Amino acid sequence: MTRRERQGAILQLVREREISTQSELAEALHELGVDVVQTTVSRDIGELGLVKVRAPSGRLVYALPGTADHDRLRELVGALRRWALTIESSGNLVVVTTPSGFANALAQVIDESAHPLILGTIAGENTIILVAPEGVAGSALRDELGGHLMEGAA
């Protein structure tokens, strides 16, 4: 098996299973018939840029770069529900309005969420501008964030 094939198998495994340690990953690869030692697994993890995130089960597990941490996403959703009044978009920008004095607090939570569709924030007194990456429409980000506001609404 080539390095590329082995790394492809690793990516598939971390998408499908909750794998917390290099040993667990090496064991899962062995189950697939891939003969690998832990040092190789360690190197592959680094080359693939895998990160540890908290899974819904509460375990820290390997994930692809940019995978949202469940706890940070939950904090973001809670903060949006508490402070966001409106969410509008233009181009690759999203404008969020809050009650006066809450924009900085919400922007801080947004920044800490490490959301993969948000490059950065600029906050004023009651307005936040979110910048989406090149190629991502602000409307897509607006719809995702706005969807969190509607969850559980009757």
Residue range 6-51, pLDDT digits in tens: 999 999 999 899 999 999 999 999 999 999 999 999 999 999 988 8
Q: Count of domains in the chain?
A: 2
113-122 per-position pLDDT tens digit = 878 789 999 9
Q: Are residues 115 and 78 in the same domain?
A: yes
59 and 75, same structural domain? no
CATH of the domain at 7: 1.10.10.10
**What local confidence, expressed as pLDDT, does residue 154 receive?**
47
Residue 134's domain comprises 70-150
Give the pLDDT confidence of 42-100 residue by residue, as tens digits: 999 999 988 888 776 778 889 887 666 666 778 888 999 999 999 999 999 999 999 99
Looking at the structure, tell me whether residues 77 and 138 fall in a common domain: yes
Residue 26 shares a structural domain with residue 83: no
Greater model confidence, 144 or 131: 131
Let me know: does 134 contact 90? Beta carbons within 8 Å. no
Tokens read off for 18: 């909750």
The domain boundary residue, chosen from 29, 45, 63:
63
Query: Helix crossing, 3-16 with 38-48: angle to 10°?
Result: 80
